[in-house]
A and B are shown apart, each in its own frame.
Chain A
Amino acid sequence: MARAVPLRSKIGYTAAAWAVALLIFFPVLWTILTSFKTEVSAVASPPQLFTADWTLENYAEVWQRSDYPRFFWNSVILSVGSTLLGLVIAIPAAWSMAFVSGRNTKDLLMWMLSTKMMPAAAVLIPMYLIFQRTGLFDSHIGLVLALMLMNLPIIVWMLYTYFKEIPAEILEAARMDGASLKNEILYVLTPMAVPGIASTMLLNIILAWNEAFWTITLTTTKAAPLSAFIASFSAPQGLFYAKLSAASTMAILPILVLGWFSQKQLVRGLTFGAVK
């Protein structure tokens, strides 16, 4: 039987949930609202959430001043490319960790994840020099590689969790049925792990899309994605909050929409394996 929750607690919990959600969403809301204000009302003191003189001028100017479609396509190429390349490498890696694990598999997984705790700035200079000398600087291939490596531990870890849920007997049956390792992964494991692979893909596209440190540092024009597009609006002449907000809104909108429509899949993906 479901646990009975008193009405007063229900109202309390709902109000608290809304308050937390609003608190998290507030900077995004502020940015979106500011993007429709004039530069003057954007910096008004005391700050105003709403204004009387709404305008679309910022968007028009941002669109005119920069090549948005190019930045957008670069973001798509980098986020989707790095995620797909990551999956190609991570699926076999997670397979071996989940189904032919050794004594050190858990340690290896922990080590991989621990690399995510390293501050990116610590390797800034070597990365910059490597990219510059190998011709990877400001190239799609270079950035796809960098973003893939950055997210690989998360992709492997997530896929490992999904694969652990798949009964090993089914893969053994495939082996008995004459499937090679490639066919076992292609025809049996991957189709069974589609929900897991899909949510891993979504999350990593979002992470790669939002990545700013390396995409700004390692690009100038050719491969620069939307993060660099936003940064280009903080000019030495000063910050133009309204235009910066319009640029930010244009940069986050595609991923916000993707996240909104796939939230069910994402939540399922992130909580997968938590309870059996």
Chain B
Amino acid sequence: MGQITLKQVRKSFGEVDVIPGVDLRIENGEFVVFVGPSGCGKSTLLRLIAGLEDTTGGIIEIDGKDATALPPAKRGLAMVFQSYALYPHMTVRKNIAFPLKMAGLSEADQTAKVERAAKVLNLTAYLDRRPGQLSGGQRQRVAIGRAIVREPAAFLFDEPLSNLDAALRVGMRQEITELHQSLKTTMIYVTHDQVEAMTMADKIVVLNAGRIEQVGSPLDLYSHPKNTFVAAFIGSPKMNLIDGAEAAKHGAHTIGIRPEHIDFGMGPWSGTVILSEHLGSDTFLKVNGGALGTLTLRGGGDVAAGPGDTITFGPQMAKLHRFGQDGLAL
């Protein structure tokens, strides 16, 4: 089990309302990603669920039971921290066994569970080392091992990959996704990286200033952003947002078009290339579109346009997003 419900959960630090009131339902076995810019309250929300912060108001239910006032240890959740938070004075074996020891398991049960977790995470060879003797990726695996041995109702991940280098991050991302597929346990994952959110999540919760902007599947958020914030936040490079006369032509206050939904060589718009980035498979062009503003375009690897070139381009009309004055999708 691992069904979590937040009802009007609020958190204030003194006068500052960090979470003004959040309602959310996370189903059993779901992989939910909280995503948003720095300071949006995503980590605070995770810590409220974990019990590491007290709520100012509202109710947190875990598997239908009110857990708002329960201490972290009694919530049946496991957490993986950004800094790994391993116990530096204990070996890998003792680190992983620690939650089992706290639960009062026998030595034999502890050993069996630790060895099984170590096997799943390829840590068997490192069981007698200390965290200081491991690489970043191995440390993160130990942190995950410590979480899985408890067989928790849900896993909470607080930006677990941000201390790893880019190559390792991709590998660990896939490992965590595979782990979710094999364990089928609820996972809540906090990140500011929308690529992680898009690739891992069943459900993404986009947060801004402590408020939920939109909840949905990755493709839902990509195809049907509810407002300009989500439109600009989800997708890389981010969506081009155009105000003024051009938007008015489409009956909107703002129109949005993703770089990959702009066709080259035809269409009503033109501009001067400021910058071109050739990635091999793709080419990103930064274009000064005059009244349209600065736009980003995405083309194939064979696009030859370079800085100073004038190019013609236009949006794929079916992929055009329209937003009203209040920023909401029309």
Interface residues of A, Cβ cutoff 8 Å to B: 167, 169-170, 172-180, 183, 187-188, 191-192, 194
Contacts and interface: CB of A to CB of B under 8 A. Distances in A.
Contacts of B78: 176-177
Interface of B: 50-52, 71-73, 77-79, 81-83, 85-89, 98-99, 102-103, 146, 150
A176 B50 contact: yes
B20 to A, nearest CB: 24
B103 A178 contact: yes
Contact of A178 (B81, B82, B102): B102
8 contacts: A172-B52, A173-B87, A174-B98, A177-B99, A177-B146, A178-B99, A180-B102, A192-B88
B50 A169 contact: no
Nearest to B152: A176
Contacts of A174: 87, 98
Contact of A170 (B50, B77, B82, B85): B85
B93 to A, nearest CB: 15
Contacts of B103: 178
* Prevailing SS type, chain A contact patch: helix
B317 to A, nearest CB: 50
Contacts of B102: 177-180, 183
A245 to B, nearest CB: 46
A175 B52 contact: yes
A187 B101 CA distance: 11
Contacts of A179: 73, 98, 102
Nearest to B98: A177
Given A178-B99, A178-B102, A183-B102, A173 B89 contact: no
Contacts of A178: 73, 99, 102-103, 150
Given A173-B87, A177-B102, 11 more contacts: A173-B81, A175-B51, A176-B50, A176-B73, A176-B77, A177-B99, A178-B73, A178-B150, A183-B102, A187-B98, A192-B89
Contacts of A177: 73, 78, 98-99, 102, 146, 150
A175 B71 contact: yes
A183 B51 CA distance: 18
Contact of B83 (A169, A175, A191): A169
A183 B77 CA distance: 18
Contact of B85 (A173, A191, A194): A173
A173 B139 CA distance: 14
A34 B105 CA distance: 65
A167 B85 contact: yes
B186 to A, nearest CB: 15
Contacts of A191: 89
Closest 7 CB pairs of A and B: A173-B85, A178-B102, A177-B99, A169-B85, A178-B73, A191-B89, A176-B79
Nearest to A183: B102
Contacts of B82: 169
A179 B71 CA distance: 10
A183 B102 CA distance: 8
A172 B73 contact: no
> Which of the listed residues B51, B72, B86 has the most CB atoms from chain A within 10 Å of its own CB?
B72
A169 B83 CA distance: 8
Nearest to A167: B83
B81 A172 contact: yes
B304 to A, nearest CB: 49
Nearest to B88: A192
B136 to A, nearest CB: 15
A188 B83 contact: no
A170 B77 CA distance: 16
B248 to A, nearest CB: 51
A246 B9 CA distance: 73
